[in-house]
Amino acid sequence: MDRSQIAFKTAALIRDIYSRSSHQIASGMMGSGLSHQQIMVIRLLAHKKTQQVSSLCQEMSLTKGTVSGIINRMKQAGYVEKYKDANDSDKRNTYIRLTQKGLDFSMVSKDKIIESYNHVFSNFSDEELAQLASLLQVLSDKLMDTETK
């Protein structure tokens, strides 16, 4: 197999792994009424407390239109709220944060998400998991390097 075929196969595997792991996590969160992407937003906001839509787009690798739709549905359901920061010199910026309902869901879902990830990686030895994490970090770093060039 030549380099371009290996690169294509690697990218296809990453896409497949993301899809399968997302499905595993969504299965673990059945009954919450939230999509995997909405759960990702809650986890990101629980960790960072507040974010601009543009930051969420970057972190989730989704378009502004897609993230805005996710946020609007979550706002209607009472999980997030939008606000303007009085200290921000650019008054056009809109920020997103969790409501109490979103914070409560975040606390309950944290253990279920960890349990889902543990299930996804249950067939890995500690050494295999550390090797995988190391290689994926190398990939992430190299992708970030190419984005900044």
**pLDDT tens across the length of the chain (149 residues):** 888 999 899 889 888 887 877 777 767 666 677 887 888 888 889 888 888 888 888 888 889 899 999 999 999 999 999 988 777 777 777 889 999 999 998 888 777 778 877 888 899 999 999 999 999 889 888 888 777 76
Place of tokens 């606000």: 83
Q: φ and ψ at 11, to 5 degrees?
A: -60, -40
Distance (Å, whole) CA 7 – CA 12: 9
CATH class of 14-148: mainly alpha
The amino acid that residue 145 corresponds to is: D
Listed by start position, the domains of the chain span 14-148
- For the chain, percent helix, then strand, then coil, each to nearest 5? 70, 5, 25
Distance CA 67, CA 94 (A): 13
